[in-house]
């Protein structure tokens, strides 16, 4: 867990490559479910098209469907889920059901980083529309300005990567997700990660925590 642009997506993908555990993130699952016109995806699409968040129980169903797949049997990496206490309690129920009542061993990793640094990351963030690779014009620029190193596509800026939208997203995170810090701290599951530094430096710190 961590605020927008704290590096969760980048680090969890690297961790998945390192460990062989599948990388599970709700955004990709929702998009795939909608694209495949799955029943849950059709329901999710009806909310998203209205600019609304998909209901917690719907997201939980999509997560459960993914965690029941064979590649998740030995472990998995959840990226940005759960995002609220309600989702955390739903995840508890999912894991109990999957493991037939046996408690699942896991760590909740909180990415800690100052808001001003996050803001710089967000407004300078660019991504490749083809491969999804993330760049930062200030901290991690491409070799050729505005062009993806891997496939030569023109980089784009997400519509929500503006200072005004970012501040709203921070407010949402602190209101909904920060209570999870207390929740998992009391359970003894939470570890804090200093998410400042280069991508490789943060990854080394992450590996030490694990």
In this predicted model, what pLDDT tens digit does every residue of 16-33 receive, in sequence order?
Answer: 999 999 999 887 787 777
pTM of the model: 0.79
Q: Which of 66, 121, 125, 126 is catalytic?
A: 125
Tens digits of residue pLDDT in 135-157: 989 888 999 999 999 999 999 99
How far apart are alpha carbons 23 and 17 in whole angstroms? Answer: 9
Residue 51 pLDDT level (bands cut at 50, 70, 90): low
Strand partners, 110: 192
Q: Residue 49: pLDDT above 70?
A: no
CATH code given to domain 8-209 = 3.40.50.300
Annotated catalytic residue 31: no
Question: For 124-128, what is the mean pLDDT?
Answer: 91
pLDDT at 92: 93
Annotated catalytic residue 45: no
Q: Which of 8, 66, 121, 126 is catalytic?
A: 8
- For the chain, give the mean pLDDT: 88
Name the DSSP class of 49: T
The mean-pLDDT minimum among 17-21, 79-83, 199-203 falls in 79-83
Q: Give start and end residues of each alpha helix (H) in the chain.
A: 8-19, 26-35, 39-48, 56-67, 85-98, 115-123, 163-176, 178-187, 199-209
Q: Which of 35, 42, 73, 158 is catalytic?
A: 158
How many C-beta neighbours within 10 Å does residue 144 have?
A: 10
Tens digits of residue pLDDT in 103-115: 888 999 999 999 8
Contact (Cβ atoms closer than 8 angstroms) between residue 3 and residue 170: yes
pLDDT at 82: 92
Q: Which residues have C-beta within 8 Å of that of residue 191, sequence separation ≥ 6?
A: 107, 108, 109, 110, 209
Annotated catalytic residue 8: yes
How far apart are alpha carbons 52 and 45 in whole angstroms? Answer: 10
Q: Residue 97: pLDDT above 80?
A: yes
Annotated catalytic residue 158: yes
Annotated catalytic residue 121: no
């Amino acid at each position: 867990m961590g605020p927008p642009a704290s590096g969760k997506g980048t680090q969890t993908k690297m961790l998945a490559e390192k460990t062989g555990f599948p990388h599970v993130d709700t955004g990709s699952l929702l998009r795939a479910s909608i694209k495949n016109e799955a029943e849950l995806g059709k329901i999710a699409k009806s909310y998203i098209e209205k600019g609304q968040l998909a209901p917690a129980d719907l997201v939980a169903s999509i997560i459960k469907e993914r965690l029941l797949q064979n590649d998740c049997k030995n472990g998995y990496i959840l990226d940005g889920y759960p995002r609220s206490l309600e989702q955390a309690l739903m995840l508890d129920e999912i894991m109990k059901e999957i493991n037939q009542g046996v408690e699942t061993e896991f760590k909740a990793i909180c990415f800690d980083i100052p808001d001003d640094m996050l803001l710089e990351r967000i407004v300078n963030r660019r991504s490749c529309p083809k491969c999804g690779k993330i760049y930062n014009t200030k901290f991690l620029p491409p070799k050729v300005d505005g062009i993806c190193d891997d496939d030569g596509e023109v980089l784009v800026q997400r519509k929500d990567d503006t200072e005004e939208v970012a501040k709203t997203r921070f407010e949402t995170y602190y209101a909904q997700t920060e209570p999870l810090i207390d929740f998992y701290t009391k359970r003894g599951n939470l570890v804090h990660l200093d998410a400042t530094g280069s991508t490789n430096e943060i990854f080394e710190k992450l590996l030490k925590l694990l």
